[in-house]
Amino acid sequence: VAVRKSTGERVVLKYEQKGSFKHQCRVMNGIKTSLDLHHPSIMRLYEAIDAGDTIVLVQEYITGDDLFQYIVDHGPMPEPLARTIFHQIASTVLFLHERHIVHRDLKPENVMVNDDGNIKLIDFGFSCDISNGALHTSSCGSPNYAAPEIVSGKPYRGPEIDTWSLGAVLYAMLCARMTFDGHVQDVLTNIKSGTYEKPTSLSPEAQNLIAAMLTVDPEQRITLAQVMNHPFIRNDEAEGAGRPSDVDKPLPRLPDDDSNDGDISLTVPQVVLGTSVRVERTGSNAEY
């Protein structure tokens, strides 16, 4: 954690090794996307500093932890809580799609949740611009959350793969386990066939939404706009807790960790490019 001299605000410094050419391309892609995005639920990238073999990313300071860790610590989320958090995530991704950006690596590790239950979407290294309407063929992201067309190497438009990933994220939130888990080849096979353990303990609305998002045929898969109007999200037929914004105290307080805090002054040299990414879970990302 550091403090910017120019504003006095706390920021987080992330050090990205330039590494291989492929890694540099991913970092620079995330940088370009992040610098153009301004949304309360997207982690801000203020600037990036070229420091030789390293790029220093100056990012928004956020309390709390990522959604993956929250699930590990607290187990399955009650549906009203999951609805609140998921509504924020889905509406943020819809914001991206409306600006012709597809994230392509949606997973709990890439969603930060602060102490008040507000989310911040991070890591745009695999994002792509879909404004020209061209089909994409890159297979990237995290296998456990990747859509069938991604793991099969089929062309895709883009928004539909984010919708699939969000279905896997919602499943993880409600069940505290991954939809598709195990040996990599088994995971890929099950994704292609849409084979997963059905969450029968959930409400009919939650089960229906997950199934609609995890539809193998992208032409039959629910759209994100339709997700936002689904009964589980709107809560018209659910247990009656009201719309997502009406749920009080969405998260238990998470313990503060000030072990890395310090009154560090940050002098910013020449700005090049940067990205709003957080250190990832080991082995969670791959190109395949």
Sketch out the chain's domains with CATH numbers.
2-60 (3.30.200.20), 65-237 (1.10.510.10)
Pairing of strands 111-113, 65-66: antiparallel
Classify residue 133 by burial, with Cβ atoms within 10 Å: 0-12, 13-18, 19+: exposed
Give the confidence band of 248 by pLDDT, cuts at 50, 70, 90.
very low
105 part of the active site: yes
Give the confidence band of 31 by pLDDT, cuts at 50, 70, 90.
confident
Give the confidence band of 159 by pLDDT, cuts at 50, 70, 90.
very high
What are 184-215's pLDDT values in tens digits? 999 999 999 999 999 999 999 999 999 999 99
CA distance 90 to 249: 20
Check: CB of residue 164 under 8 Å from CB of residue 142.
no
Choose, from 66, 105, 123, 162, the residue flagged as catalytic: 105
What are 234-246's pLDDT values in tens digits? 984 444 433 334 3
